[in-house]
Structure 1
Amino acid sequence: MGIHVARFKAGEESQWGWVRQEEVVPIPGRYASLAEFLGEGAVRARELAASGQGKALPLSQVELLAPVTAPCNVVCQGQNYRSHMLEVGQDPDAKKFNQFFRKASSALTSSRGDIVKPSRVSMLDYEIELGIVIGRPITGPVRVTRDRLHEFAAGIVICNDVSARDIQLAEGQWYKSKSFRTFCPVGPYVYLLDPEDNAKLMNLRLVLSVNEEVRQDSNTGEMIFPPEETLSELSGIMDLFPGDLLLTGTPRGVAAGYNAPKSAKWVRKLITRFLSDQELTQLVLKMQARNTAYLKAGDVVRASIFSPDGAIHLGEQESRIVSS
């Protein structure tokens, strides 16, 4: 089995530690970033876990920081879960390509940090996603298979792809709408993968709640393009480096889906036949303005990812929405 590692503060300086139950064991050495840690630090973490030794600190007495650190590439997959495509009126069986977009690494924040809602944003949405942490340089085409995924992916982490839907819909700006500071809570831990974990990655449960109401509850087995296929494709497009992050998409239950068109395909075709793109966008925005599922100041979002047998558990995020 893999192990959990965290980046934390117990004083003035940040450090890394191996997490066991409700404690964290500091790992010797200073590593300024996740990229630095994934070399010697990850080896030391596994040695600590194997020995079971080291002086531990209660997690309740430390400040957990974002375990994924900027600067890094944050690459995202769009509409990669069948149920999410269906809830926004798309046909998953008609999807023939892997959809990618970017998110600014300055959006990264901790699993306990506030999510700041900009005053200009009225439709703030959440998206629980499984994050894949790159573990080795990928500077040319490679073929990644499920049984070799751990050779390219150092670990996995909970991510929340927070989105300003009004900007995304009105301006068609995915990067802008998803890149405000604090719009990417990660952690609390990175789970460093072992070879036997590869088989479990397509059977992880994703659960997100808002104010104790479960909004998203699905399984990674719903992915249209799994991580090994995605990394294989990305390797032919761009360079990736240790500490980079891949967000693998979100399942159904996002706020935007609460008021999305649920019409049959012929009704959607009829609407688009008589409305211009601009008129259709304004209609959708008008419908979404009445949607009460969007996040507001004071809301608390909790997210967790785990395997049904309990062998893998990535901890729990708890984020509060605050106004700027």
Structure 2
Amino acid sequence: MSRFATYTAGGQTFYGAITEGGAVALSPEFPQWPTLREVIAADGLHALAQAAQGRAVTHREFTYDIPIPAPEKIICVGVNFPDRNAEYKDGQEAPANMSLFIRFPRSFTGHGRALIRPKASEQLDYEGEIAVVIGKGGRHIPQDRALSHIAALTLCNEGTLRDWVRHAKFNVTQGKNFDSSGAMGPWLVPFTHPAQIEDVRLMTRVNGEVRQDDRTGRMIFPVARQIAYISTFTTLVPGDIIVTGTPTGAGARFDPPRYLKPGDVIEVEAEGIGVLRNTVEDEA
């Protein structure tokens, strides 16, 4: 399985292939593609895979960054599993259309780094999700062709400050965008077949305890529909990220709530992608 990451080593940022022994820097060989966003725009993941074959590890010690450092858009899908809809206890059936919100790249950190619990709130919560990276852009993308517009998959901990999503009448932007409150990574896995997304097990563990466990086949709005719907109102471009929805089991839904605290270890895992692992620290 090919895995491509953005990482920092010795004060320099690279992208490259991740192997059992470490990272193989590939960005120096492709100066025309400054980041993985440009690689994806040029349909270059296959070229990276070829370049990595037989290459020795260049970095054994490094720090993961978010895979796409500056996507034009990060669009998140809310309330996308049946049990999540039931959590709201409002008596409403699953909605006809999906709930969406935007996150900024700065609100995410990389694999292995600490999520930051901000000074403004102690209600930092986890949401394990699969994220899709758009490879072929477009507008009004038909649902039956939507999956062909995906370049790669990654994982997301869509960390949320629960009290801050209720600071206003109808929006969640504030609580979803505290700096480094979420994580993305560790790497990109090239998307080559619908089976990689259509019915995949997705789990979140906190300190080894399984908190979320479901399958993408139970999504209210499957990924193909997400792409078709979003592209109705905005042009998707290569490198855009769609965060596809989280199962039931977030900390806010326990009684009493079980929010994240410094020292916690959160792992988001999905079949065929890997494990995204982060700790928690308080804002300095």
Q: Is the shorter-chain TM-score for this pair beyond 0.5, marking a shared fold?
A: yes
Which residue is 1:309 aligned to?
Answer: none
Structure 1: gaps (5+ residues): 260-290, 307-311
Work out the CA distance in 2 between the residues paired with 1:40 and 1:221.
28
Post-superposition offset of 1:322:
1.0
In the superposition, the TM-score normalised over structure 2's length comes to: 0.90
Matching of residues 265-304 of structure 1 within 5 Å: 291-304=256-269
Larger radius of gyration: 1
Q: Secondary structure at the match of 2:121?
A: coil
Which structure has greater helix proportion? 1
Q: Does residue 204 of structure 2 align to residue 203 of structure 1?
A: no
Matching of residues 251-270 of structure 1 within 5 Å: 251-259=247-255
- Structure 1 counterpart of 2:157, one-letter code: N
Matching of residues 152-167 of structure 1 within 5 Å: 152-167=149-164
- Structure 2 counterpart of 1:48, one-letter code: A
- Give deviations 1:167-193, integer Å, cap 9, x for gaps: 113434411100011123011011111
Pick closer, same or farther for the CA change 1:101–1:12 going to 2, 3 Å. Answer: same
Post-superposition offset of 1:305:
1.0
Which residue is 1:29 aligned to?
Answer: 30
- Give deviations 1:142-174, integer Å, cap 9, x for gaps: 21326x61x311111100111111111343441
Which residue is 1:126 aligned to?
Answer: 126
Work out the CA distance in 1 between the residues paired with 2:241 and 2:92.
25
- Structure 2 counterpart of 1:296, one-letter code: K
Which residue is 2:100 aligned to?
Answer: 100
Q: Secondary structure at the match of 2:68?
A: coil
Which residue is 2:191 aligned to?
Answer: 193
Pick closer, same or farther for the CA change 1:95–1:178 going to 2, 3 Å. Answer: same
Q: Secondary structure at the match of 1:171?
A: coil
Query: Which residue of 194, 208, 212 corresponds with 1:212?
Result: 208
Which residue is 1:319 aligned to?
Answer: 278
Which residue is 2:57 aligned to?
Answer: 56
Which residue is 1:44 aligned to?
Answer: 47
In the superposition, the TM-score normalised over structure 1's length comes to: 0.79
Which residue is 1:305 aligned to?
Answer: 270
Which residue is 2:80 aligned to?
Answer: 80
Pick closer, same or farther for the CA change 1:141–1:211 going to 2, 3 Å. Answer: same
Tell me if structure 2 keeps the 8 A contact 1:76–1:103: yes
Work out the CA distance in 2 between the residues paired with 1:257 and 1:129.
17
Count of residues in correspondence between the two structures: 278
Q: Secondary structure at the match of 1:7?
A: strand
Work out the CA distance in 1 between the residues paired with 2:176 and 2:87.
20
Could you say what the CA RMSD is over the residues aligned between the two structures, in angstroms?
2.0
Pick closer, same or farther for the CA change 1:5–1:246 going to 2, 3 Å. Answer: same
- Give deviations 1:224-268, integer Å, cap 9, x for gaps: 111111111111101221111101110010011113xxxxxxxxx
Post-superposition offset of 1:46:
2.8
Matching of residues 136-147 of structure 1 within 5 Å: 136-138=136-138, 140-145=139-144
Which residue is 2:243 aligned to?
Answer: 247
Structure 2: gaps (5+ residues): none
Post-superposition offset of 1:91:
5.6
Q: Does residue 6 of structure 2 align to residue 7 of structure 1?
A: yes
Which structure has greater strand proportion? 2
Post-superposition offset of 1:71:
4.5
